[in-house]
Amino acid sequence: MYVLNTPEDRQEMLRSIGVASIEELFAQVPAALRLKRPLDVPRALTEIELTQHLHELAARDVPAGEAVCFLGGGSYDHFIPAVVDAVAGRSEFYTAYTPYQAEASQGSLQAFFEFQTLVCQLTGLDVANASLYEGGSAVAEAVIMALSITGRTGKVVVAESVHPEYRRALATYLTNLEPHIETLPAPGGFLDPSDLKRVLDEQTACVVVQHPNFFGCLEEVEELARLAHERGALFVVSFDPISLGLLKRPGQYGADIAVAEGQCLGNPMAYGGPYVGLLACRGDKEFLRKVPGRLVGETTDRNGKRCWVLTLQTREQHIRREKATSNICTNQGLFALRAAVYLAALGPQGLKETAELCTRKAHYAAERLTQVEGASLAFDRPFFKEFTLSVPGSATDLLRRLFDDGYHAGLSLGRWYPELASCI
């Protein structure tokens, strides 16, 4: 926000803080560090000139709709049914801020309640919140939740096949906390259960895996969950919502907390996010009281009519700081609404068909690409809608050439995994 201060305003502020001038205010800043020339700001543009300049900047981008898009790694160019934009674009949803006043936010609260219900049905778990910031912070929030539930502060075990950016978000969250993050390698494109068994102990708070993982491969989730539970650790899984049209739901294979990036549920790619984080968990009392963010519940008003309220807000803005389970400040209301509309529009059969199309097309692409001389699958593992391709030479150079030919051909894994510099 630009606020115009008059000379009189400036003098009044200077008097209030006890200095006579701006120069005196900044006297403690060494002269060598102070700018002695005007800022190098170009002249002001007219509205027409500014509009043209912005159009020229925008033209430098090549959006997914203007190229053949094979991008993935957490952001996908899925088809979005028109009903998603039609509902989410309604002004009462599009401009809604936050549901502090339940009596004035019944529409938003109902939408969040439906979203929570759909996430519970999707995951096979008992409780879901009204959304988190995005997939990476959802993983971190799940781990913070697991630490609080178990009371264990020794370590958190994370598979290297979890999205690298999710792992970085987790490391940031835990920087000043006691638990140590132990990252287990995934040389075959997945976490070997025998490797997990060797590192688990009575101070392990939780095990974090992604299924399907960042390489597209499926993990041995049932065995991993069993091993974690044997040592009293919680099992946290980051899942692809579309995959649950075919794969077992997290609640069916022993996940205690399930999180996801919800971009694939009716949300555009939008330059890589942030989008909307999903979180669901078991319904035990100790889990329910530790759910981060907001939880919308259904009740009746004094006239006996169905209505909705914010049942739980375990954040420091609403309760004593020492009892807050998270410092999350809001939920991703508009993206959560879009996800709810998308899931409701597809229904169980539509979600299954979408998952089948993803799987068939990914396997068809893998079959054709591996016919190219020098190209091969990097991992001999079952995969869902993504796969890792080993290519001859530099993956970065190949992707640049394909971009010039009109393809967003994928992501170079060398960005995160130096040993996979020839893989996309």
| 90 and 104 share one domain | yes
Q: What is the pLDDT along the chain (424 residues), one digit of tens a residue?
A: 467 888 899 999 999 999 999 889 999 999 899 888 888 888 999 999 999 999 999 999 998 889 999 999 999 999 999 999 999 999 988 887 677 777 778 999 999 999 999 999 999 999 999 999 999 999 999 999 999 999 999 999 999 999 999 999 999 999 999 999 999 999 999 999 999 999 999 999 999 999 999 999 999 999 999 999 999 999 999 999 999 999 999 999 999 999 999 999 999 998 888 999 999 999 999 999 899 988 999 999 999 999 999 888 765 555 666 667 787 877 889 999 999 999 999 999 999 999 999 999 999 999 999 999 999 999 999 999 999 999 998 999 999 999 999 999 999 999 999 999 999 9
Helices (H), 28-96: 47-58, 82-88, 91-94
Q: Is residue 198 part of a domain?
A: yes
Assigned domain for 55 exists: no
* Contact yes or no for 355/245 (Cβ under 8 A): yes
Distance CA 172, CA 218 (A): 27
Q: Quote the CA–CA distance of 127 and 229 in Å, as a whole number.
A: 20
Distance in angstroms (rounded) separating the CA atoms of residues 84 and 267: 9
Domain annotation covers residue 101: yes
Residue pair 276/116 in contact (Cβ under 8 Å)? The answer is no
What pLDDT sits at residue 1?
46
Same domain? 139 vs 123 = yes
Domain boundary among 326, 342, 358: 342
User: Residue 220 in contact with residue 159, Cβ under 8 Å?
Assistant: no
Could you tell me if residue 144 is inside a domain?
yes
Pair (217, 286) in one structural domain: yes
Check if the beta carbon of residue 112 is closer than 8 Å to that of residue 296: yes
Q: CB atoms < 10 A from the CB of 380, how many?
A: 9
Give every CB contact of residue 380 below 8 A, 6+ residues apart in sequence: 188, 189
Neighbour-count burial for 330-339, b at 16+ CB within 10 Å, e otherwise: bbbbbbbbbb
Residue at 17 is within a domain? no
98 and 75 together in one domain: no
Domain assignment of residue 10, yes or no: no
Query: Which H/E stretch holds residue 68?
Result: strand 68-69
- Name the residue range of residue 402's domain: 64-80+348-420
Q: Are 387 and 277 in the same domain?
A: no
The one-character DSSP state at 101 is S
Query: What are residue 300's DSSP bridge partners?
Result: 306
Look up the CATH number of the domain holding residue 358.
3.90.1150.10
**CA-CA distance, 116 to 296, in Å (whole number)?**
8
Last residue of a domain, one of 342, 368, 395: 342
259/128 Cα distance (integer angstroms):
10
Q: Tell me which of 342, 366, 394 is where a domain ends.
A: 342
Q: Are residues 316 and 411 both part of a single domain?
A: no
How many other CB atoms sit within 10 Å of the CB of residue 35? Answer: 6
Q: Do 91 and 174 share a domain, yes or no?
A: yes
Element holding 296 (H helix, E strand): strand 294-300
405 plus 268 within the same structural domain: no
What's residue 316's pLDDT?
53
For residue 114, tell me if it sits in a domain: yes
Distance, in Å, from the CA atom of 142 to the CA atom of 74, rounded to the nearest integer, reads 18
> DSSP per residue over 167-236, as a string?
HHHHHHHTTTSSPEEEEEP-TTSS--HHHHHHH--TTEEEEEEEES-TTSBPP-HHHHHHHHHHTT-EEE
Closest CA to 154 of 192, 190, 207: 207
* DSSP string of 146-183, one letter each residue: HHHHH---SEEEEETTS-HHHHHHHHHHTTTSSPEEEE
Question: How many residues make up the chain in this entry?
Answer: 424
- Same-domain status, 257 and 285: yes
Q: Which two tokens stand for residue 263?
A: 């971009």
Do 278 and 368 share a domain, yes or no?
no
Tell me how many domains the chain contains: 2
Q: Residue 206 is part of a domain; what is its CATH number?
A: 3.40.640.10
Least Cα distance to 281 among 110, 129, 118 occurs for 129
Residues 236 and 366 in one domain: no
Q: Are residues 336 and 369 in the same domain?
A: no
**CA 254-178-176 angle, 5° bins:** 115
Contacts of 274 (CB under 8 A, 6+ apart): 133, 134, 332
Q: Would you say residue 312 lies in a domain?
A: yes
